[in-house]
């Protein structure tokens, strides 16, 4: 600080000395010419800036402020819309979940019903098949018995011819065979005899 | 703290250097003391080598601010000659116009750094300088003037720290051409410039005050409120004090800017070697030269902007005070 004081004092004394030399310190004596130049140049600068610079800067700043305000408004609007959409989607999702649960329940129920029906139907079909098989077996058995009976008749006739050396006429043959067969029990062959 | 400071120096030391651990072990205090010791040691060494040449009578530091007539223009008693100050006024005006219109034409929605800086300055002028002091109508009318005052003084102050070939007293030769020496000068370091701006402000705020309130009411508004019951003689005394304070504004507003900028330039001149030359002690230059950097940064980084801000703010305050309902 002391040094600065010395410097200032030195500067002022130098200025004063110089002033004495030139009839007034040029450092602190204003000049009219320079003042006029200042007025002209400052005035011109102000005129140009107020016409070409400040309005454009202000306009750009206003435009940006407007853009920012609009952006904020748009962002708020979009946020609101997003919130609405979100709540709507959530509602839809909940609804869809309910529907899905309902569909699942119904599907499960339908599957259970179908399973039950299929079980009943299968059982019925199996029984039908068993019945049909029984019927077929009985028919086949009956046809086999008839065939055996025919075979036995024919053999009997042949045997009788050999024993008696006599040919029987067809009526006698038939009668004899039927008599013989009537005495034979075929029930064992058909299976009924054992059951009975 | 000391270990934190010591670490980088340890890392910076070359690998395998035997001095590295020693340097790393020094505390900050020791380093500062060594620095000061070296600083003073160099100065003492220079003093011993070069000695004291005695006061230099030939060197006139004030001549750095002397205005030499370059192109003579004389209109009767008015000297409109072109000199260094007029050149600086032209440069300041040209630079202000060019920079502001250039930015204004290229205003982008997404600003770059330069545009951001100008926008910040513009916004500060509008909302910090003009806004709080003036009502809406006054602000609209006076914003261009106050904003121009701010930017124009700012550019004037800033170009004052650029060395330009303006010292025609001392020249140097380049291929036979005599080029003026590079020197720093500021138009605002000449009293005429702040004074004429102050006069414009001073006249303007009185005119606005009279226009807003009428002459009598405006003059009456100079008296502080609460003196209605005071006797007329005391009122006249206070009015006289207030009137003096208004005239004192002519000096305070102009001299504040002028003296600050002049003092800054003188400081730079003396610290940059002027003092050593003036006193004939070369060793002093070694001591003052680092201070020149400090003052340069202070002037460019703070004083130049601060003085422009203060001048513009006081302009707004004076205008606002003259037209506001109560003084």
Pairwise CB contact (< 8 Å): B93 & A41: yes
ipTM rounded to 2 decimals: 0.84
User: How far apart are the C-alpha atoms of B324 and B139, rounded to whole Å?
Assistant: 12
What's the confidence (pLDDT) of residue B284?
A: 80
* CA closest to A46 among chain B residues: B148
Which of A39, A43, A46 to mutate: most B Cβ within 10 Å?
Answer: A46
Instruction: From chain A, pick out residues whose CB is under 8 angstroms from the CB of B267.
Output: 4, 7
Q: Are B274 and A7 in contact (CB under 8 A)?
A: no
Give me the number of domains chain B comprises: 2
Q: Is the pLDDT of residue A72 over 90?
A: yes
**Domain co-membership, B77 together with B1:** no
Q: Verify that B106 and B151 share a domain, yes or no.
A: yes
Mean pLDDT of B185-212: 92
Query: Confidence class of residue B184 from pLDDT cuts 50, 70 and 90?
Result: confident
Mean pLDDT across the stretch B109-133? 90
Count CB-CB contacts under 10 A for residue B33: 12
Average pLDDT on B190-199 reads 93
| Region A92-102 average pLDDT | 93
Q: What is the mean pLDDT of residues B88-94?
A: 94
Average pLDDT in the A53-82 region? 91
pLDDT at A17 over 60: no
Q: How much is the pLDDT for B24? A: 57
pLDDT of residue A160: 76
Q: Which of B63, B122, B190 sits opposite A34 (nearest CB)?
A: B190
Q: What is the pLDDT averaged over residues B72-88?
A: 86
Give pLDDT, residue B20.
45
**pLDDT tier, A166 (very low <50, low <70, confident <90, very high otherwise):** low
Tell me the backbone φ, ψ of residue B178, rounded to 5 degrees: -85, 105
Q: What is the distance between the alpha carbons of residues A177 and A170, in angstroms, rounded to a whole number?
A: 10
- The answer to whether the CB of B103 falls within 8 A of the CB of B118 is yes
Mutation target for A interface from B144, B153, B299: give the one with most A CBs within 10 A. Answer: B144
Structure tokens that stand for A140 in this block: 């086949």
Do residue B42 and residue B102 come from a single domain? no
Q: In chain B, which ranges are E strands?
A: 74-75, 78-79, 164-174, 177-183
Q: Which residue of A has its CA nearest to B93?
A: A45
> Do B74 and B116 belong to one domain?
yes
Structure tokens at B284: 């002093």
How many Å apart are CA B79 and CA B73, to the nearest integer? 6
Closest CA to B202 of B76, B319, B73: B319
Question: What does the pLDDT look like over B292-304, one tens digit per residue?
Answer: 899 999 999 999 9
Measure A28 CA to nearest chain B CA, in Å: 6
Mean pLDDT of B152-171: 87
Name residue, tokens 């500060």: B124
Same domain, B77 and B184: yes
Is a pLDDT exceeding 50 seen at residue A10?
Answer: no
Average pLDDT over chain A, rounded to whole?
81
b/e map of B198-236 (b: 16 or more CB within 10 Å)?
A: bbbbbebbbebbbebbeeeebbebbbeeeeeeeeeeeee
Instruction: Please tell me which of the candidates B60, B144, B196 has its beta carbon nearest to residue A18.
Output: B60
Q: Residue B250: what pLDDT?
A: 93
- Split at pLDDT 50, 70, 90, the class of A188 is low
Q: How far apart are CA A62 and CA A56, in angstroms?
A: 10
pLDDT classification of B4: cutoffs 50, 70, 90 = very low
Give B90's contacts in chain A (Cβ within 8 Å). Answer: 41
Which of B50, B74, B89 represents a domain boundary (last residue)? B50
Pairing mode, strands B164-174 and B78-79: unpaired
What are the tens digits of pLDDT across the range B218-256? 998 888 888 777 888 888 899 999 999 999 999 999 999
- Least Cα distance to B310 among B193, B194, B138 occurs for B194
> Residue B172: helix, strand or coil by DSSP?
strand
Record the tokens describing residue B182, joined without a space.
Answer: 């590079």
Contact at CB, A32 and B190, closer than 8 angstroms = no
pLDDT tens by residue, B301-324: 999 999 999 999 999 999 999 998
pLDDT score recorded for residue A139: 92
Residue B324 is predicted with a pLDDT of 85
Q: Is A139 on the interface with B (CB under 8 A)?
A: no
Domain check: are B287 and B309 in the same one?
Answer: yes
Residue numbers of B between 41 and 60 with CB closer than 8 Å to A: 60
Mean pLDDT of B265-273: 87
3-state secondary structure chain A: CHHHHHHHHHHHHHHHHHHHHHCCCCCCCCCHHHHHHHHHHHHHHHHHHHHHHHHHHHHHHHHHHHHHHHHHHHHHHHHHHHHHHHHHHHHHHHHHHHHHHHHHHHHHHHHHHHHHHHHHHHHHHHHHHHHHHHHHHHHHHHHHHHHHHHHHHHHHHHHHHHHHCCCCCHHHHHHHHHHHHHHCCCHHHHCHHHHC
Q: Are residues B114 and B244 in the same domain?
A: yes
Phi/psi for B57 (5° steps) reads -80, -25
Check whether residue B245 and residue B270 sit in a common domain. yes
B43 is written with which tokens? 């100065």
Q: Which whole number is the average pLDDT over A60-76?
A: 91
Tell me the shortest Cα–Cα distance from A55 to chain B, in angstroms: 8
Average pLDDT for residues B115-143, to the nearest whole number?
A: 91
pLDDT at A169 (0 to 100) = 76
Average pLDDT for B26-39: 89
Chain A within 8 Å of B69 (Cβ-Cβ)? no
CA distance B239 to B231: 12
CB count within 10 Å of CB B319 equals 26
Q: Residue B319 has what pLDDT?
A: 94
Q: Determine the pLDDT at residue A127.
A: 93
Angstrom distance (rounded) from CA B238 to CA B278: 48
Average pLDDT score over residue span B154-173? 86
Please list every residue in chain B whose beta carbon sits closer than 8 Å to the beta carbon of residue A65.
Answer: none
Determine the pLDDT at residue B153: 95
Q: Are residues B72 and B33 in the same domain?
A: no
A72 to chain B, minimum CA–CA distance in Å? 16
For B78, residues 6+ apart whose C-beta sits below 8 A from its C-beta are A32, A33, A36
Does residue A67 sit at the B interface (CB-CB below 8 Å)? yes
Same domain, B120 and B181: yes
> In this structure, are residues B187 and B297 in contact, taking their beta carbons and an 8 Å threshold?
no
- Cβ distance A37 to B80 less than 8 Å, yes or no, reads yes
Nearest to B66, CA basis, from B48, B85, B47, B52: B85
The pLDDT assigned to A7 comes to 43
Size of interface A-B (CB pairs under 8 A): 138
Contact A24/B at CB under 8 A: no
Residue A6 confidence class, pLDDT cut points 50, 70, 90: very low
Within 2-21 of A, beta carbons closer than 8 Å to B belong to 4, 7-8, 10-11, 14-15, 18
Structure confidence at residue A193 (pLDDT): 45
**Is A18 in contact with B63 (Cβ distance < 8 A)?**
yes
Is there a contact between B186 and B156 (Cβ–Cβ < 8 Å)? yes
Using a CB-CB cut-off of 8 Å, the residues of chain A touching B89 are: 34, 37-38, 41
Check whether residue B121 and residue B260 sit in a common domain. yes
Please tell me the distance from the alpha carbon of residue B149 to that of residue B56, in angstroms, as a whole number: 40
pLDDT the model gives residue A190? 56
Chain A: residue whose CA lies nearest to B101: A53
The predicted pLDDT at position B84 comes to 87
Final residue of a structural domain among B33, B50, B67: B50
Going by pLDDT thresholds of 50, 70 and 90, the confidence category of residue A194 is very low
Q: Which residue of A has its CA nearest to B145?
A: A46
Do residues B165 and B177 both lie within one domain? yes
The DSSP symbol for B221 reads: T
Q: How far apart (Å, rounded) are the C-alpha atoms in residues A25 and A12?
A: 10
Domain range for B84: 54-323
* Average pLDDT rounded to a whole number, residues A123-146: 92
């Amino acid at each position: 600080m002391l040094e600065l004081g010395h410097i200032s004092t030195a500067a002022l004394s130098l200025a004063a000395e110089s002033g004495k030399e030139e009839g007034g310190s040029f450092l602190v004596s204003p000049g009219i010419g320079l003042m006029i130049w200042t007025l002209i140049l400052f005035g011109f600068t102000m005129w140009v800036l107020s016409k070409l610079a400040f309005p454009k800067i202000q306009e750009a700043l206003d435009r940006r402020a407007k853009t920012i305000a609009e952006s904020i408004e748009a962002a708020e609007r979009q946020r609101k819309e997003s919130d609405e959409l979100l709540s709507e989607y959530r509602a839809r999702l909940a609804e869809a979940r309910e529907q899905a649960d309902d569909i699942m329940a119904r599907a499960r129920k339908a599957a259970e019903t179908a399973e039950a029906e299929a079980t009943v139907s299968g059982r019925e079909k199996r029984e039908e098949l068993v019945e049909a098989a029984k019927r077929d077996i009985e028919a086949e058995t009956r046809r086999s018995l008839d065939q055996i009976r025919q075979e036995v008749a024919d053999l009997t006739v042949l045997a009788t011819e050999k024993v008696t050396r006599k040919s029987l006429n067809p009526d006698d043959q038939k009668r004899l065979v039927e008599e013989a067969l009537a005495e034979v029990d075929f029930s064992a062959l058909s299976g009924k005899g054992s059951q009975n | 703290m000391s270990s934190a400071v010591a670490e980088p120096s340890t890392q910076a030391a070359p690998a395998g250097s035997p001095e590295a651990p020693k340097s790393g072990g020094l505390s900050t205090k020791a380093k500062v003391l060594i620095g000061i010791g070296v600083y003073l040691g160099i100065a003492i060494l220079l003093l011993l080598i070069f000695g004291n040449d005695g006061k230099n009578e030939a060197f006139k530091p004030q001549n750095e601010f002397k205005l030499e007539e370059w192109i003579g223009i004389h209109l009767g008693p008015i000297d409109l000659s072109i000199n260094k100050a007029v050149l600086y006024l032209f440069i300041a005006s040209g630079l202000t116009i060019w920079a502001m219109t250039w930015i204004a034409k290229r205003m982008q929605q997404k600003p770059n750094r330069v545009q951001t800086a100008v926008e910040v300055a513009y916004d500060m002028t509008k909302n910090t300088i003009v806004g709080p002091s003036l009502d809406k109508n006054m602000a609209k009318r006076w914003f261009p003037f106050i904003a121009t005052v701010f930017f124009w003084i700012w550019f004037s102050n800033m170009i004052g720290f650029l060395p330009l070939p303006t010292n025609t007293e001392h020249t140097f030769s380049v291929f036979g051409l005599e080029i003026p020496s590079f020197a720093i000068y500021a138009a605002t370091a000449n009293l005429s410039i702040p004074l004429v701006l102050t006069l414009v402000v001073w006249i303007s705020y009185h005119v606005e005050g009279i226009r807003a309130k009428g002459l009598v009411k405006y003059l009456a508004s100079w008296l502080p409120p609460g003196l209605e019951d005071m006797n007329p003689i005391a009122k006249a005394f206070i009015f006289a004090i207030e009137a003096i304070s208004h005239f004192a504004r002519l000096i305070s507003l102009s001299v504040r800017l002028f003296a600050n900028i002049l003092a800054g330039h003188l400081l730079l001149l003396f610290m940059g070697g002027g003092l050593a030359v003036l006193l004939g002690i070369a060793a002093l230059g070694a001591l003052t030269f680092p201070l020149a950097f400090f003052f340069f940064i202070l002037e460019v980084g703070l004083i130049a902007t601060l003085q422009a801000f203060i001048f513009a703010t006081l302009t707004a305050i004076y205008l606002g005070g003259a037209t506001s309902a109560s003084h």
